[in-house]
Chains A and B, each alone.
Chain A
Amino acid sequence: MKAAIATRLAVMFAVAALGVFSLVGFALRHVLQRELDRHQLSEVNTRLEYVGMMVARNDSAEKWQSLRSKLDALTPLDGSVRFWVMSPNPRFEYGDAPTMLRERLSTHTGGPFVIDLEGRSMKASSRSFASNGERPAVQVVTAVDSTRFLDTLNAFAGALVALSLAGVALVALLGHRIAKVGLAPLSSLSQEAQSLSPRDLSQRLRLSPLPPELADLVSSFNGALDRVQRAYAQLEGFNADVAHELRTPLANLIGQTQVALAKERTAPQLEETLQSNLEELDRLRAIVNDMLFLARADQGETALHRVQTSAAEEVSKTVEFLEVLLDEAGVSVRVEGDAHAPFERSLFRRAASNLLLNAIEHSERGAEIVVAIAQQESKVRIAVTNPGTPIPEQHLERLFDRFYRVDGARRNSRDNHGLGLSIVRAVAKMHGGTVFATSTAGGNTVGFTLADAPAARAP
């Protein structure tokens, strides 16, 4: 399972804070180090200036003595500031400069430098003075202990690290709180969603007090609920339709059998009743078989006995079958184009026959029905167009629903119980295709597509 959003956010905040604090910390430390360096240097230089002035004025060995005591006085007891004067004449020296320093100076080119003296790091600067009177040319060196500055820097860095860590922890904690508060609408939404009852399909999530990010989610969720409700209503309507379709023949069967048995009948009368019963029973059988066929397609059954076939040829065979009906209706059929695909012939003919019957039913005498067959990418498309009054948009998408009738009336219910186009859809589905319906002033087109390669399940 993924961590809770609040926790994830808190961790992300903490990581971000750590980054920011580190960056700022490094920058601060760098600035401080530079400032401390500058400060140290100016301290060294100020002293060198001061001592340098005294040394420059000095021109005799007697005065050198008092200079020594002055320099002694300037040197603090803890040795944090040191002075050295080096000269070819030992009388004009001070501080007994260590060999290391002398060697360093012999190669040194100028500017401040760092020396290690008795375990402490010191910043030093030197300057040369030309001879004056008795005094030969001398070199003066001033050094200031850097340990104090380094200590300051280290203390500062330590404080920075500690503060940063505390800051990161605080940010993580606050981030968690903020996320919790920020996500409050989400948890209240989920509570609301949980309280939706499966019994009442009209319930929806409330939209008004939600932030815009969630409003989108809620409206798509509500959209899904809309569709579920519609599908459910359709299913209930469908069940009612099935019951209705079965009820009429059943009522006839029961009624006429009871009437026949209520009195003594002659053999021909009984035969007549039986014949009528048989017609009704055949109607029931046809409905039940069609319903089972549709159910099988819904359960994902695919066409198994697929053979590579010419669609135009099959349509022509179907037209031949319906010839007498076309003739009676005074309607002609024209087949345009052709395409080959693997399909189950009897299913294809069944679909084609249903489409043609539908077209015949809605055509005026003298009309021409056009069957257009075309290869479209990986599909074969069969479209049946008949001239007629345009079908309103809201009916088009429902044309393939079971028992759906555009005019709402149940005409032709003996021959066609309203499943013809549903069967077309089932056949298309069994071949990996779909159905479509369009309506223009030129006529109404209803048709289906078939995948031109067998689905993965096929043997």
Chain B
Amino acid sequence: MKILIVEDEAKTAEYLHRGLHEQGYTVDVARTGPEGHALTLQHDYDVIVLDVMLPEMDGFAVLRAIRTHKQTPVLMLTARDRVDDRVHGLREGADDYLVKPFSFLELVARLQAVTRRGRAQESTQLRVGDLEIDLLSRKAYRAGSRLELTAKEFALLALLARREGQILSKTVIAEQVWDMNFDSNTNVVEVAIKRLRAKIDGPHERKLLHTIRGMGYVLEVRGDKEAP
């Protein structure tokens, strides 16, 4: 996956570069609009992260220039959270829009969503360690025994299993499981995770559902060195 970041703010560009590189992307960084536009002419990117507030040529102008020759998915970043901006960006052909301050996890999730479009159907059977999930019959088993889950708990588990090994923020979870796409200051997700954990990890030696403090939750099989 090849990604282009067009961002003039040094710190932002730096951490996006490092973070996305560690996520397995091949990352190019452009510090100005014209430079970014020139890069899109030379290379074929899978996705472009484009800041709106750029010197010389602003993000909308860059987007227009790119759209004259390429249909690469574009995710725009802005510090101004105005509906006009958002509508403007999407009308010009941006595929998504993130408002600063955004969480890095959310950016990764959005990038995946933008590039995943049109992918083949996922499998209906998921397996994480000795945890088995059947998406069709909506049943889950741990070490062969059936887990009694509520509908929402199953949805939560399915989401985590589908993104195995990937940290999911509370915001993403609330949006995917409950369709609550606003920044809610509740601990609903925390409580729901706590209950789910009791059911799937409760009696088992090896834990599968992990909390990454300050970031979110991840379902994965970890090595022996894991802290309790």
Chain A interface residues toward B at CB < 8 A: 268, 274-279, 281-282, 285-286, 288-290, 292-293, 296, 301, 304, 317-318, 320-325, 328, 346-347, 349-350, 353, 357, 415-417, 420
Contacts and interface: CB of A to CB of B under 8 A. Distances in A.
Nearest to B214: A278
A28 to B, nearest CB: 77
Contact of B188 (A277, A281, A293, A322): A322
A421 to B, nearest CB: 12
A357 B187 CA distance: 11
Contacts of A290: 183, 185
Interface residues of B, number: 27
B15 interface: no
B215 interface: yes
A353 B81 contact: no
Interface of B: 81-83, 87, 101, 103, 152, 174, 178-188, 191-192, 195, 212-215, 227
Contact of A349 (B83, B180, B191, B212): B180
A328 B191 contact: yes
Given A275-B213, A278-B213, A279-B214, A415 B152 contact: no
Given A301-B83, A353-B180, A420-B185, A325 B214 contact: no
Given A289-B183, A325-B187, A353-B184, 12 more contacts: A277-B214, A285-B101, A289-B81, A289-B101, A290-B185, A304-B83, A317-B179, A321-B174, A325-B186, A349-B180, A349-B182, A353-B182
Contacts of B152: 320, 323
B188 A324 contact: yes
29 contacts: A274-B214, A276-B213, A276-B214, A278-B214, A279-B214, A281-B214, A282-B103, A285-B101, A285-B103, A289-B81, A289-B183, A290-B185, A293-B81, A296-B82, A301-B82, A304-B87, A317-B179, A318-B180, A320-B178, A321-B178, A321-B188, A322-B188, A346-B181, A347-B182, A349-B180, A349-B182, A350-B182, A353-B184, A415-B186
Given A279-B213, A285-B101, A317 B178 contact: yes
A322 to B, nearest CB: 6
A353 B185 CA distance: 10
Contact of A346 (B81, B182, B215): B182
Given A304-B87, A321-B180, A323-B152, A415 B185 contact: yes
Nearest to A322: B188
